[in-house]
Amino acid sequence: MTTEALFAISTLAGWAGWLFFCLASLAGLRLAARAIGLDHGREQRSLLVNGLLAFACFVVSFLTPADIGRQIEGNGVRIPAVWLYMHFWGWAALMCLVMGGAAFIQTVLAISTEERATKLKWFCGWLVAGALSAWAFQSIAPQITVFRGAFFLAPATLGIGALLFFASLVFLAFSTRRATTRSTAKTLWTHLALLVGCVIFGLPFAWLLSSSFKEDKDLSGGVIWIPKVTETSAYLDPKHPQFLGTAYGMEVTAEPTKDLGNGKLQLDIVAPFNMRGRTFEALKSDLKPSPRQVPIVTGTWERTSFRGRVIEELDNGDRRVEALDPASLKGQVRDFKRDAVSESRPNGLRWKNYPEALQYLPPETKFGLVYLKNTLILVVLGVLGTLLSCAIVAYAFSRMRFPGREFLFKVLLATMMLPGAVTLMPQFLIFKSLGWIDTLQPLWVPAFFAGAFNVFMLRQFFNQVPMELEDAAKIDGCSFLRSFWTVMLPQVKPALAVIAIWTFMGTWNNFMGPLIYINSPENMPIAYALQLFSGDRSGEPGLLMAFATMTMLPVLALFFFAQKYFIEGVTLSGLGGR
């Protein structure tokens, strides 16, 4: 068994042990509190089973070797952490395993034949679902990546947290002694469970956001939650000078490669990154010296702790360091073995990942603004076309009477049964004959031709609007179109909002469409650009995480600001919330 698997088993067993210990403690406290309506037999079984499970998990965690794979420095109590990266079906199989284990324990502890039969059915169901999920996982993507890490808590912080948690358990147990406090305790416990669930399922996004501010050296070999930044110092290197100049219509940083005489130099561009490899010529008088950012190191200089900057990396691997502190050594230069000095890396955020990620984009994209412009065009036209076309078609099927209406509506719903792969080739040939390949038209024009699902949902909302409203509008002289625009649409705002949000998210994250129809970088949207960036800069995960975070932020912001419309779209009847 690999060290990653052993570390995962040890860490998960330890966390599970503490969970079962808390459940056993709660059962014991409830027995001590003598809560009203308490089933003493059930609580005693819970105390015994959870106590035994906690003991078993602690034994497994203690006996299983847990090698983190690298040295992690920190002050306080080290708490191991692990995260599994695998396909959706792997998570489904793991969930079925946990739920099936719980159902098996409940089957063994059942006190009646009826309860045992019910729990056995649940166990068999989870077992079948787990087997199917495991088969799908093994067939599609059986790879599992284990991220190993640890975080440190000060003893005082850990003690205060444990004390507060134990106090909350005591409160939950003794609050059930009275009926007036029982519902409050239940509400608090429910919210606590939901909060814990949010934290657990929010860990991948938190890791993504944290990694977008890390250096690449912190993204190999495990999970480090708190980013560190290498401290640097500006240094004008006389041996390898850099200059600021203007080339190709923009300011660049370049290194001289050849002296052309008459005060003229040939230079190679080193920044921005998307201009690297290009050369240009310039007069020395038009150039400004540009300092390099060199790392700051700490070590011991003749039994004195010092702080300096690396001014040169020697061919034999040594580092030439110029002392900065203390004042008695300032300005002195000395060569050190690489392991004799360590880079100064305090906790901090590497904000440079974001501008550097944009600098790696092709020059014709103008640091990603072209991608953003294309995506906004697709989003605006896609949302507008979807709302207008689907609302008009749904209104016609809901309110207008014409021959073959029901048959045509069934034909429209039948198109939902067609897989996208079936219509892919005919659509491509149509757009090719129109000359729309490598343009944005194939990605937004279909939005103005209503989709079956959105039409079906809006038709159901229109059907729930009383006919009296439209009859009153007709009496006032409104035509079908005027009645649709001024009377009916305001009544289905929740459904329109839901469709708009779905369309926005689908268009923003659309990858297959641009992959099929787009060839040139100047027409790519953000989703396609992210895939290309992942392929080009896969060796620099910090920049990749920064670029991925930038592409996700608009969708996350939309969800948090418009999440109430998801609920309203399901709960409201379509009568404007009344």
pLDDT value at 574 more than 50: no
**Rounded-to-10 torsion of CA 540, 543, 546, 548:** -60
pLDDT, position 476: 80
The 10s digit of each residue's pLDDT in 455-491 is 998 898 888 888 888 788 888 888 878 888 888 888 8
| Sheet strands (E) in 57-160 | 77-85, 145-153
- The CATH H-level (homologous superfamily) assignment of domain 232-290 is Myosin S1 fragment, N-terminal (2.30.30.360)
Domain ranges in the chain are 3-86+144-219, 232-290, 295-344, 363-571
| pLDDT surpasses 70 at 571 | no
**Quick one: CA dihedral 437, 438, 442, 445, positive or negative?**
negative
What's the pLDDT at 376? 92
- Please, what is the average pLDDT of the chain? 83
Question: Which residues neighbour 327 within 8 Å (Cβ) at sequence distance 6 or greater?
Answer: none
Residue 307's beta-bridge partner residues?
298, 325
Say what percent of the chain tops pLDDT 90.
Answer: 10
Give backbone dihedrals phi and psi of 282, rounded to 5 degrees, phi first.
-155, 155
CATH no. of 295-344:
2.30.30.140
Range of weakest confidence among 259-268, 299-308, 553-562: 553-562
> Measuring CA to CA, how many Å separate 196 from each of 190, 200, 201, 330?
10, 6, 9, 52
What pLDDT does 573 receive? 39
User: In the CATH scheme, what is the homologous superfamily, with its name and number, of domain 363-571?
Assistant: MetI-like (1.10.3720.10)
Distance, in Å, from the CA atom of 391 to the CA atom of 483, rounded to the nearest integer, reads 13
Q: Tell me: the pLDDT tens digits for 6-21?
A: 888 888 888 889 888 8
Query: Helix 3-33 to helix 155-174 angle, to the nearest 10 degrees?
Result: 40
Using one digit for the tens of pLDDT, what is the confidence trace for 318-329? 898 888 888 888
Per-residue pLDDT at 559 exceeds 60: yes
One fold for both 232-290 and 363-571?
A: no
